[in-house]
Amino acid sequence: MYRTGEAAAIAQLRERDELNQCTLPLMEDFYTIQGEGAHTGKPAYFIRTAGCDVQCWWCDVKESWDEEKHPRVTVGEIVERTVKSGAPLAVITGGEPLLHNLEPLTIRLRQEGIRVHIETSGSSPLSGVLDWVTLSPKRFKKPLVENFPYVDELKVVVLTKKDLAWAEEMAALCPDTAMLLLQPEWDTPESIPLIVEYVKEHPKWGISLQTHKFMNVP
């Protein structure tokens, strides 16, 4: 779990109304099934913030990059929709969600008894109260070293052998408790046999698949 300095988080536990009025640029939010990584198959409310400064060429949500193209939505509205969905957990993703201060949103979600997970490239500082941190590092903009101690799950997208070396470099910086997962890039099926052989030879790693794409859910 990550907490923005305990004192800061407690200080933020002030008026709910005050937190609810904060805004975030939002591309979309929806209730679905977590499709990839350690929590695959769990129902989750996805909150996709807008804005990304990493800009991977193979990104499948390029429309999220420019935050000016998306409305700013109040934390109150986002939390209300999450609660109404009945989801036990929220996944904050992007874009790159750490471009924004996540304290108001994450504190309000946890006040409502909702677990908070984040999927991030780790290239900006962590913020808020986070029950689960999935680090999906990108070579285009490297993760900050200070974020590694909070990683619960390392998920590296693999296209070529070079990515396997990069994955090992990233794993060496993670806590021993972190789950280590390799994920084939969807449009690069030749990465699958590469990953299968690698995981058989290096069993500390597992494989993550984008099952939501097979299930045809968002």
Those residues whose C-beta lies under 8 Å from the C-beta of residue 167, and which sit 6 or more positions away, are 154, 156, 158, 180, 182, 205
Cis peptide before 35 (omega within 30 of 0): no
Can you say whether the dihedral through the CA atoms of 125, 21, 53, 165 is positive or negative? positive
Establish if 9 lies at the interface with ligand SF4 (CB under 6 A). no
> Which 45-104 positions form the footprint of ligand SF4 (CB under 6 A)?
52, 54-56, 59, 61, 64, 94-96
Beta carbon nearer to ligand SF4, 12 or 136: 136
Closest CA to 45 of 101, 112, 122, 99: 112
> Residues touching ligand SF4: how many (CB under 6 A)?
12
For the bound state, the minimum distance from the C-beta of residue 5 to ligand SF4, rounded and expressed in Å, comes to 26
Establish if 137 lies at the interface with ligand SF4 (CB under 6 A). no
For the bound state, the minimum distance from the C-beta of residue 210 to ligand SF4, rounded and expressed in Å, comes to 12
Establish if 20 lies at the interface with ligand SF4 (CB under 6 A). no
**Measured distance CA(196)–CA(192) in Å, rounded:** 6
Task: Supply the DSSP string of 164-216, one letter for each residue.
Answer: HHHHHHHHTTS-TT-EEEEEE-TT-TTHHHHHHHHHHHSTTEEE---HHHHHT
Question: Which listed residue (99, 138, 184, 195) binds ligand SF4 by CB under 6 A?
Answer: 138
Beta carbon nearer to ligand SF4, 107 or 150: 150
For the bound state, the minimum distance from the C-beta of residue 96 to ligand SF4, rounded and expressed in Å, comes to 5
- Which positions lie near ligand SF4, rule CB under 6 A? 52, 54-56, 59, 61, 64, 94-96, 121, 138
